[in-house]
Each structure stands twice: as structure tokens, then as C-alpha cells.
């Protein structure tokens, strides 16, 4: 008998929501940025939108591989005025840290499932790198 | 300032009030400390959202965080939570015990206004409730009479409350 994957799928749905919400945040952030660093920051956030969308898609594929359909629940209202690079990066760091913690939280629940475990470990590695990069920029 | 604009200017927004209440609820089991993941589950939102919202709560001095990103209410945050909970309790009591609004609806409506009503209004509501549920025979009679009061709009559609526009009809037509 196949193990009940409902909880794992729920975890994956939550991870997908984190990624897609991050995508929307970075998308808006690009247009909130002002100041001399805007062009450099714009590129950073453009990469952020691309990567978060790729991550969300990778998670959706995992959900499909488990025989389920991705479900998305996002409650989000993005406001906020013009911002500078420092503030934008601080916000990005928060979002990336939470994504990293979310993947770490899921890891013990998928341990033993080779495909999912590999996937989550890879995501943890990528997110750890992101967090370190952003933290370095903020130093 | 026009009154409707005060919703925007309100320092404690609906979202902020719910974040503070969630931190309070989650923290009850852990000596006041809450994890972002637990707050997110309590509010059914993402961890990213909680984390970003916490930044603003922290700036306003309502919450404190430690080096492990654990969160707890500051003394100012605790006062805000107590005030919100008190207002919610009195509005809910008023709606259910005085106006006879079903409890589930009273819960929803009191949640919507808990952070919006001012302190003086909240205090007056408490006084009014205390009077209504007191042993004063007049209060008991008012409550009993209201319970049995079957309101019928006059044919003219005017009364001392509505002044030419039947408010009951307008509420029923809105159906919200």
C-alpha cells in the first residue's frame, strides 16, 4: 500500500505558495525601487522573480508526480511606497530566510523518499546560497 | 479628517491586530514566544508574509525578536492585544446578549470592529452593558421588552430613526 502523501502534498503546496508570493513581492519591488542603485537592484530583483517562478514550477511538478494537483492559497496585498536598495534587500533577505526555513522544516518529513528528499535538499542548498549572498550585500 | 479616512490612518490595522493576537495565542504555550511558522499556520498565510509584516510591527514597537527569529509581544504589544480583546468581548456581548444577534455572527462582526472602535466608545459600551445586565429592574425590563418587541415599519416609511429612508429596507436590499 502506498503511504499517505496528503500531508507531504500540503507541505509542497505551502512551499509553492511561499515561492509564488516571493515572486509577486520581487515583481512589485522592482517598481518600488528608487535611487542611484536602482539599475543594479532592478537586475537582482528580476533574477529573483525568475528564480522564484522556476522554484514554484519545480514544486508543482513534484506535486503532479505524486498524483495530485497543485493548490494555491495566497492572501496578499502589496502596498508600500518608494524604497531604496538597502530596504529592498532587507525585505528580500526576510523572504529568502523564511523560504529556507520552510524547506528545512519539510526535510525530515520526506526523508527516505529519494526523489523528494533530493529535491528538498537541493532547494535548501540553493536557498542557503541566496540567503548568504543577500546577507553579504547587506554587510 | 473625514471619518472613513480614519480606517487608513488607524495605527493598528486589522492585519496588525490579527498578527498580534496570533502571537499572543501561539505564545501561550511557549512562555510568550512564537515561531514565524506557527504564526503563519495560525493566520493561514505564508511565512514570508508574516516575516514582512513583523518588520513593521517591530518598527512600531509592538513585538520583539531574538537571535533565533522567535517573536514575542512587547509590553506595548501586550497592551494593544488586551485592548483589542476587551473591545471584541464587549462588542460581542452587546451583539449577542443585547441585540440577540446569533453568536456565530456576533463573533464575526465583533472581529471586524475590535480594533476600530476607540477607547472611550469601548468604555461606554462596557458601562452600558454593565447597566443592562445589572439587577436594576428597569434594565431587566428594557432587555425583556426589547426581546419581545416586534418592530413593524409604519406605512409612511418614516419614523424617528429612519427620517424618510427605511433603514431596514435598505439593509435588506443590500443583502451584505
pLDDT for A109 beyond 60: yes
Last residue of a domain, one of B52, B73, B94: B73
Closest-CA distance of chain A to residue B47, Å: 6
pLDDT for A23 beyond 90: yes
- Note whether B55 contacts A94, CB cutoff 8 Å: yes
Residues A37-48: tens digit of each pLDDT: 788 888 889 999
Chain B residue numbers touching A104 (CB-CB < 8 A) = none
Q: Domains in chain A, ordered, with CATH?
A: 6-138 (1.20.1260.10)
Chain B residue numbers touching A17 (CB-CB < 8 A) = 46
Determine what percent of chain B is predicted with pLDDT higher than 70: 89
Query: What per-residue confidence (pLDDT) applies to A53?
Result: 97
Residues B111-151: tens digit of each pLDDT: 888 888 888 998 999 899 899 889 999 998 988 888 888 76
Q: Give alpha helix (H) positions in chain B.
A: 6-9, 14-27, 36-43, 47-59, 75-93, 103-113, 119-132, 137-147, 167-174
**Do residues B69 and B12 share a domain?**
yes
B51/A contact by beta carbon, under 8 A: yes
Q: What is the Cα B112 distance to its own chain's centre? A: 5
Residues A53-79: tens digit of each pLDDT: 999 999 999 999 999 999 998 988 898
Last residue of a domain, one of B29, B50, B73: B73
Q: What is the 3-state secondary structure (H, E, C) of B96-140?
A: HHHCCCCHHHHHHHHHHHCCCCCHHHHHHHHHHHHHHCCCCHHHH
Q: Which domain holds residue B90?
A: 81-147
Question: Is residue B22 in a domain?
Answer: yes
Average pLDDT over residues B150-167: 72
pLDDT for A1 beyond 80: no
Question: How many structural domains compose chain B?
Answer: 2
Question: Is residue B69 in a domain?
Answer: yes
Question: Is residue B96 in a domain?
Answer: yes
Residues B45-71: tens digit of each pLDDT: 999 999 999 998 999 999 999 988 899
Q: Do the interacting molecules here have an ipTM over 0.85?
A: no
**Do residues B65 and B109 share a domain?**
no
Question: Is residue B62 in a domain?
Answer: yes
pTM of the model: 0.78
Chain B residue numbers touching A108 (CB-CB < 8 A) = none
The CATH number that applies at residue B61 is 1.10.10.10
Query: What per-residue confidence (pLDDT) applies to B160?
Result: 75
Task: Phi first, then psi: give them for residue A33, nearest 5 degrees.
Answer: -70, 135
Query: How far apart are the C-alpha atoms of B165 and B159, rounded to whole Å?
Result: 9
- Note whether B44 contacts A105, CB cutoff 8 Å: no
C-alpha dihedral, A12 to A17 to A23 to A26, nearest 10°: -120
- The per-residue pLDDT of chain B, averaged, comes to 86
pLDDT for B7 beyond 60: no
- Note whether A101 contacts B49, CB cutoff 8 Å: no
B69/A contact by beta carbon, under 8 A: yes
Residue-by-residue DSSP string for chain A: -PPP-HHHHHHHHHHHHHHHHHHHHHHHHHHHB-STTHHHHHHHHHHHHHHHHHHHHHHHHHHHHTT---------------B-HHHHHHHHHHHHHHHHHHHHHHHHHHTT-HHHHHHHHHHHHHHHHHHHHHHHHH-
Test the A interface: residue of B37, B44, B46 with most A CBs within 10 Å: B46
Question: Is residue B169 in a domain?
Answer: no
Query: What per-residue confidence (pLDDT) applies to B36?
Result: 94
Report the candidate in B175, B152, B147, B150 with the shortest Cα–Cα distance to residue B162.
Answer: B152
Question: Is residue B174 in a domain?
Answer: no
A44-48, A79-83, A116-120, B41-45: least confident range:
A79-83
Amino acid at each position: 500500500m502506498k503511504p499517505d502523501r496528503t500531508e507531504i502534498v500540503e507541505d509542497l503546496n505551502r512551499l509553492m505558495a511561499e515561492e509564488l508570493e516571493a515572486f509577486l513581492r520581487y515583481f512589485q519591488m522592482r517598481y518600488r525601487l528608487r535611487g542611484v542603485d536602482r539599475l543594479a537592484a532592478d537586475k537582482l530583483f528580476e533574477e529573483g522573480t525568475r528564480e522564484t517562478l522556476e522554484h514554484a514550477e519545480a514544486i508543482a511538478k513534484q506535486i503532479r508526480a505524486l498524483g495530485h494537483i497543485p493548490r494555491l492559497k495566497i492572501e496578499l496585498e502589496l502596498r508600500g511606497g518608494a524604497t531604496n536598495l538597502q530596504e529592498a534587500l532587507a525585505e528580500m533577505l526576510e523572504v529568502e530566510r523564511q523560504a529556507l526555513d520552510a524547506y528545512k522544516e519539510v526535510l525530515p518529513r520526506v526523508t527516505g523518499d529519494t526523489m523528494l528528499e533530493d529535491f528538498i535538499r537541493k532547494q535548501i542548498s540553493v536557498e542557503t546560497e541566496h540567503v548568504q549572498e543577500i546577507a553579504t550585500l547587506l554587510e | 479628517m473625514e471619518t472613513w479616512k480614519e480606517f487608513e490612518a488607524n495605527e493598528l490595522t486589522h492585519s496588525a491586530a490579527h498578527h498580534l493576537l496570533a502571537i499572543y495565542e501561539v505564545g501561550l504555550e511557549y512562555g510568550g514566544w512564537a515561531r514565524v511558522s506557527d504564526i503563519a499556520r495560525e493566520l493561514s498565510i505564508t511565512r514570508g508574509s508574516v516575516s514582512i509584516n513583523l518588520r513593521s510591527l517591530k518598527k512600531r514597537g509592538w513585538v520583539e525578536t531574538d537571535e533565533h527569529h522567535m517573536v514575542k509581544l512587547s509590553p506595548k504589544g501586550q497592551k494593544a492585544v488586551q485592548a483589542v480583546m476587551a473591545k471584541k468581548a464587549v462588542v460581542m456581548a452587546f451583539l449577542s446578549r443585547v441585540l440577540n444577534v446569533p453568536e456565530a455572527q456576533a463573533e464575526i462582526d465583533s472581529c471586524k470592529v475590535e480594533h476600530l472602535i476607540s477607547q472611550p466608545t469601548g468604555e461606554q459600551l462596557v458601562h452600558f452593558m454593565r447597566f443592562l445586565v445589572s439587577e436594576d429592574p428597569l434594565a431587566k425590563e428594557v432587555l425583556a421588552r426589547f426581546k419581545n418587541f416586534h418592530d413593524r415599519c409604519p406605512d409612511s416609511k418614516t419614523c424617528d430613526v429612519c427620517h424618510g429612508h427605511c433603514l431596514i429596507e435598505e439593509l435588506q436590499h443590500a443583502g451584505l
